[in-house]
Structure 1
Amino acid sequence: MEKRRVGAIKILVTLIGFGVFFSCKTTKEEVFAQKLEQPNIIVLLSDDLGYGDLSSFGHPFIETPNLDALAESGIKLTSFYSAAPVCSPSRIGLLTGRSPNRAGLYDFIVGGNTQREDLKDLVHLRAEEETIPGLLKEVGYSTCLVGKWHGSSLFNSEKQPQPDHFGFEHWFATHNNASPTHENPKNFVRNGSKVGQLEGFSSQLIVDEAIDWLDKKEGENPFFLEVAFHEPHEPIASPENLVNKYLEFTDIKEEAEFFANVENVDIAVGRLLAYLKEKGLDSNTLVVFTSDNGPETLNRYSKAKRSFGSPGDLKGMKLWTTEAGFRVPCIINWLGKDTFNGTTDAVISALDFLPTFSELAGAGLPKKKLDGQSFASFLKTGNIQREKPLVWSFYNALNERVVAMRSDDWKIMAQLKTKEGYLPKILNVHSGNEALVKNAELSDFVLYNLKKDVQESQDVSKKHPEVFEQMKIQLSQEYQELLNDSHIWARN
């Protein structure tokens, strides 16, 4: 309860900074009851959208006017990071504010109950984890998830917690991708009931659901809405008129389909923003748009034939621990509020959403260790000083160095080495390989100055030996702490 009280105190400080003043006699309960300045919060989350896939982030052909306008009147973050370079752990990190390793999410979640040697069939967001919707619900928010869930191997099953357990009062979701494609999907579930085949494209269907939920929401209390787009993850399907539009820029139909897929998300975002304006919900709504990880590599697997996503100037792609794996586009716009406006290279992470939203809503924080920090004051000033570095440990990375850390302008990366050689690719950490993983030692360090070399082209460890040694020590400490707190799966 002490952490809950701390959260209530922090909301008063933050809101006063935005020009909101309360009587000294006003209790926390009265503040919530009067709905004073608790913002509505909307998270728009794309799937496999690369750093360079929006026109405002440099794409030469794809048109995203609604997102561009949102960035123009809001905050465009050029150094924003997802919690992981792949979907499930990234999403869990966003919801919990904790490195996904702590929750036992090391790679994407497979579906079904077929027993696997690596125990990935057990992986799910465990009931004990606290999430954004759960915390906000405690202080009066209505909550909704539409789109992709990907937080449990047994989707829509009583054997594992589902979205409602974590605070989503209404959910309209799929386990993973829209199936068979984004067009006319048939695998949506609404609050535990299968919906059957739908007509239309996934991005538009989930915005339809969001709007319908907002229309039917009772009361004037604030809301938290997560709109988890399936696009532009494969299997891609896009409106024909948009595909034809982009055939003017490429002779490859599959590439035109990808371009059209991204614009279709932008159109869906535009529809939701227009609804907010029409209903007068644009006076105090914090809107965040980002991606779960970097772009898929073309033809990396058989169905990735339309994966023409762009990493921009960054190195790598999805599943890499180089920048393009988890540095993704992000736009923040607090509709109706006077905030910092412009483009910034401030280092912000999806791990920061939970403490930030909790502070703005007057909610408490989880008892478990957080890896994110609140950027509530950043929204006003445009300045933030990170309290601790960002650390990623992705054992199934496509590149060699599976551990990475960013601290200020510096990024250090390392391989993991065992007595027999380098640690093999690990899909999950469980009782069978726990000792192997925990006994592996960091090795083959490299150091980059991202301020001067965002492409990670020059190892400057010898040029800056003092920084290098300091970063090695810091990474060793941070990684060991994360490793010690990582959940290990075991079959009972």
Structure 2
Amino acid sequence: MKNLLLLVICGICIACDTKEPEVQSPNVILILADDLGYGEVGYQGQKKIKTPNIDALSETGMIFTHHYSGAPVCAPARSVLLTGLHMGHSYIRGNDAMKERGDVWDYAKASVDPNLEGQRNLPADTETMSKMLQKAGYKTGIVGKWGLGGPLTEGIPNNLGFDYFYGYNCQRQAHNLYPTHLWENKEKVLLNNELVVPATKLDPGADPNDPASYAKYEQNDYAPDLMHDKAMNFIQENKDEPFFLYYASPLPHVPLQIPGPDREGYIAELGAEEPYRGNNGYFPNQYPNATYAAMITKLDQQIGEIRAKVKELGLEENTMIIVTSDNGPTYVGGVDYDYFESSAPFTNGYGRTKGFVYEGGIRVPMLVSWPGKIEKSTSDHISVFYDIFPTLAELVGIPIPEELDGKSFLPELMGKEQEKHEYLYWEFPETGGQQAVRMGNWKAVRQNIVKENNLEIELYDLSKDILEQNNIASENPDLIKKFEEIMAKEHETPEVETFRMAALGD
């Protein structure tokens, strides 16, 4: 009897020793650049701007060549990212300043009155990717730009699934990278900067070729540096438990501002430039091209430092890093999109980049790195922001909510059979009112829905016409009918009146 008992105990012990250990939930670092164009990174062909760290990271994982933002501008893109709902179902569908609160566009007033800060807020009971990760046992943090609810509304990050927040609450306040304040959780943090209102011109009689004329636009506390320090601290402080860091950098969104030493190399390399005098609410700059290039290289440097920190802490093989952009490149503020070929290989310029649903406005760079798990590769899988929520849910073992519009692309990352979208859908009530659908290589676009009550559909074959210049709608009436049905099906009347489009029946 004793021998039998000993054998049973030994058998239990052997079983314990040979059991496969449970895989720890990986850390996730989601880096969202601001207005970074498809063609503005080295691994996608950029020649003038140096992005060595992003390029090196692309060598460790999967590059997505057909990845899309959820919207062509900041706030709705971020809403789609966090909620997993496309723009036909999203609560936030535009950059709504909630002007009923008062002088929300008065930068100076908003700098001292928190009631005037921020954009239309997500309701606090909104299901978000960050809430899902909290339920999975993750410590969650956002560092950077929020844009989904003012500091005195229910739509602050701490109510929507984030344990920690540091950065800009308001997109309008981010129109100065040397602001008077940032926010840490629910507290306003004053910085060592004087108030300089965006659109402040050079002093009368100032020499535009004299660096001293621009001194007021470069002060003491550079917000991207402060936020980067907080991101690094978040990683350090949470190294012993699963964490999710949403790093929503304000770079390279204009204004053109960066500490002088960071752009010296580009000034020497690019040579003399015509100074940018400032317009559309942005500051003048003596070296616009050198500054813009340096802002992207600054972002790249920060991504390199994050990767180095992860390696230093021994977390590299247990950390997934995602790098993407909230929408296409800008056409204002002194950015020379033609010089940099910012949206290559797509069409550049107003009407085709940021703010519009053509490829240059919504197709964005994306790479996903997870050493030891994701092999170096390039994927032509067609994906979109609203896929990231279900991907992370599957990653951490949380059932994917049925109401989400996205599909997990975790199988694609793991080299397994991937379910494809029948189509992707966008709508955007601003810049005239727009809708778009991508179905395979077909791309359907509606423009001026609000401005002109237009419901005609343009049709492009992206396999032959990546510039979207040859409208072949008249040649494909059956396809147009199909796209009309999709656009009608996917559009739900917005809860917020500001986002409604009467021509769609709202």
Q: Give the deviation of 1:85 after TM superposition.
A: 0.3
**Whose Rg is larger?**
2
The alignment status of 1:452 with 2:455, answered yes or no, reads: no
Query: In the alignment, what sits opposite 2:236?
Result: 215
Deviations 1:80-106 (A, max 9, x none): 100000000000000011013423322
The alignment status of 1:190 with 2:184, answered yes or no, reads: yes
Query: In the alignment, what sits opposite 2:56?
Result: 69
User: Structure 1 344/125 Cα, relative in aligned 2: closer, same or farther at 3 Å?
Assistant: same
Q: Residue 482 of structure 2 aligns to which amino acid in structure 1?
A: Q
Of 266, 269, 272, 1:251 maps to: 272
Distance in structure 2 (CA, Å) of the matches to 1:133 and 1:200? 29
Corresponding pairs, count: 422
Q: Residue 125 of structure 1 aligns to which amino acid in structure 2?
A: L
The alignment status of 1:320 with 2:359, answered yes or no, reads: no
TM-score by length of 2: 0.77
Structure-to-structure mapping, 1:355-434, within 5 angstroms: 355-366=390-401, 369-381=403-415, 384-397=418-431, 402-415=434-447, 423-424=450-451
Q: Residue 318 of structure 1 aligns to which amino acid in structure 2?
A: K
Distance in structure 1 (CA, Å) of the matches to 2:188 and 2:399? 34
Query: In the alignment, what sits opposite 1:342?
Result: 377
User: Structure 1 205/373 Cα, relative in aligned 2: closer, same or farther at 3 Å?
Assistant: same
Query: In the alignment, what sits opposite 1:99?
Result: 86
Of 115, 130, 136, 1:133 maps to: 130
Name the stretch that deviates more: 388-397 or 140-149: 388-397
Distance in structure 2 (CA, Å) of the matches to 1:461 and 1:111? 38
The alignment status of 1:150 with 2:185, answered yes or no, reads: no
Judge conservation of contact 1:127–1:161 (CA < 8 Å) in 2: yes
Q: Give the deviation of 1:180 after TM superposition.
A: 7.1
Distance in structure 2 (CA, Å) of the matches to 1:307 and 1:174? 26
Judge conservation of contact 1:104–1:123 (CA < 8 Å) in 2: no
Judge conservation of contact 1:41–1:223 (CA < 8 Å) in 2: yes
Query: In the alignment, what sits opposite 1:58?
Result: 45
Distance in structure 1 (CA, Å) of the matches to 2:256 and 2:486? 38
Q: Residue 305 of structure 1 aligns to which amino acid in structure 2?
A: G
Judge conservation of contact 2:49–2:296 (CA < 8 Å) in 1: yes
User: Structure 1 201/281 Cα, relative in aligned 2: closer, same or farther at 3 Å?
Assistant: farther
Q: Residue 381 of structure 1 aligns to which amino acid in structure 2?
A: G
Distance in structure 2 (CA, Å) of the matches to 1:287 and 1:81? 17
Of 194, 206, 227, 1:206 maps to: 227
Q: Residue 324 of structure 1 aligns to which amino acid in structure 2?
A: G
Query: In the alignment, what sits opposite 2:487?
Result: 479
Deviations 1:93-145 (A, max 9, x none): 000110134233221132665259xxx99832122321111001001111000
The alignment status of 1:271 with 2:305, answered yes or no, reads: yes
Distance in structure 2 (CA, Å) of the matches to 1:112 and 1:486? 18
Q: Give the deviation of 1:402 after TM superposition.
A: 1.6
Q: Give the deviation of 1:305 after TM superposition.
A: 2.5
User: Structure 1 173/183 Cα, relative in aligned 2: closer, same or farther at 3 Å?
Assistant: closer
Distance in structure 2 (CA, Å) of the matches to 1:179 and 1:484? 31
The alignment status of 1:294 with 2:328, answered yes or no, reads: yes
Structure 1 unaligned regions, length at least 5: 1-21, 299-303, 417-421, 426-439
User: Structure 1 121/76 Cα, relative in aligned 2: closer, same or farther at 3 Å?
Assistant: closer
Deviations 1:426-466 (A, max 9, x none): xxxxxxxxxxxxxx6x7322221112221112223355x3x
Distance in structure 2 (CA, Å) of the matches to 1:275 and 1:314? 35
Q: Residue 181 of structure 2 aligns to which amino acid in structure 1?
A: N
Judge conservation of contact 1:405–1:412 (CA < 8 Å) in 2: yes
**Aligned Cα root-mean-square deviation (Å):** 2.9
Query: In the alignment, what sits opposite 2:5?
Result: none
Q: Residue 146 of structure 2 aligns to which amino acid in structure 1?
A: W
Distance in structure 2 (CA, Å) of the matches to 1:194 and 1:353? 31
Residue 283 of structure 1: SS of its match in structure 2?
A: helix
Query: In the alignment, what sits opposite 2:4?
Result: none
Q: Residue 259 of structure 1 aligns to which amino acid in structure 2?
A: A
Query: In the alignment, what sits opposite 2:70?
Result: 83
Instruction: Name the % identity.
Output: 29
Q: Residue 483 of structure 2 aligns to which amino acid in structure 1?
A: L
Query: In the alignment, what sits opposite 2:478?
Result: 469
Q: Residue 232 of structure 2 aligns to which amino acid in structure 1?
A: I
User: Structure 1 122/355 Cα, relative in aligned 2: closer, same or farther at 3 Å?
Assistant: same
The alignment status of 1:305 with 2:292, answered yes or no, reads: no
Structure 2 unaligned regions, length at least 5: 1-14, 104-116, 193-219, 274-286, 499-506
Query: In the alignment, what sits opposite 2:160?
Result: 166
The alignment status of 1:45 with 2:35, answered yes or no, reads: no
Judge conservation of contact 1:135–1:364 (CA < 8 Å) in 2: no
Judge conservation of contact 2:49–2:297 (CA < 8 Å) in 1: yes
Query: In the alignment, what sits opposite 1:433?
Result: none
The alignment status of 1:234 with 2:254, answered yes or no, reads: yes
Name the stretch that deviates more: 85-94 or 174-183: 174-183
Distance in structure 1 (CA, Å) of the matches to 2:81 and 2:303? 20
Judge conservation of contact 2:118–2:147 (CA < 8 Å) in 1: no
TM-score by length of 1: 0.79
User: Structure 1 110/101 Cα, relative in aligned 2: closer, same or farther at 3 Å?
Assistant: farther
Deviations 1:281-327 (A, max 9, x none): 111111110110111103xxxxx124646111212110111111110
Query: In the alignment, what sits opposite 1:437?
Result: none
User: Structure 1 412/225 Cα, relative in aligned 2: closer, same or farther at 3 Å?
Assistant: same
Name the stretch that deviates more: 107-116 or 34-43: 107-116
Residue 188 of structure 1: SS of its match in structure 2?
A: strand
Distance in structure 1 (CA, Å) of the matches to 2:164 and 2:336? 32
Q: Give the deviation of 1:184 after TM superposition.
A: 4.0
Judge conservation of contact 1:43–1:226 (CA < 8 Å) in 2: yes
Q: Give the deviation of 1:364 after TM superposition.
A: 3.1
Q: Give the deviation of 1:178 after TM superposition.
A: 8.2
Deviations 1:324-369 (A, max 9, x none): 11101111111x32324222222111110000001101123346x2
Residue 377 of structure 1: SS of its match in structure 2?
A: helix
User: Structure 1 179/150 Cα, relative in aligned 2: closer, same or farther at 3 Å?
Assistant: closer
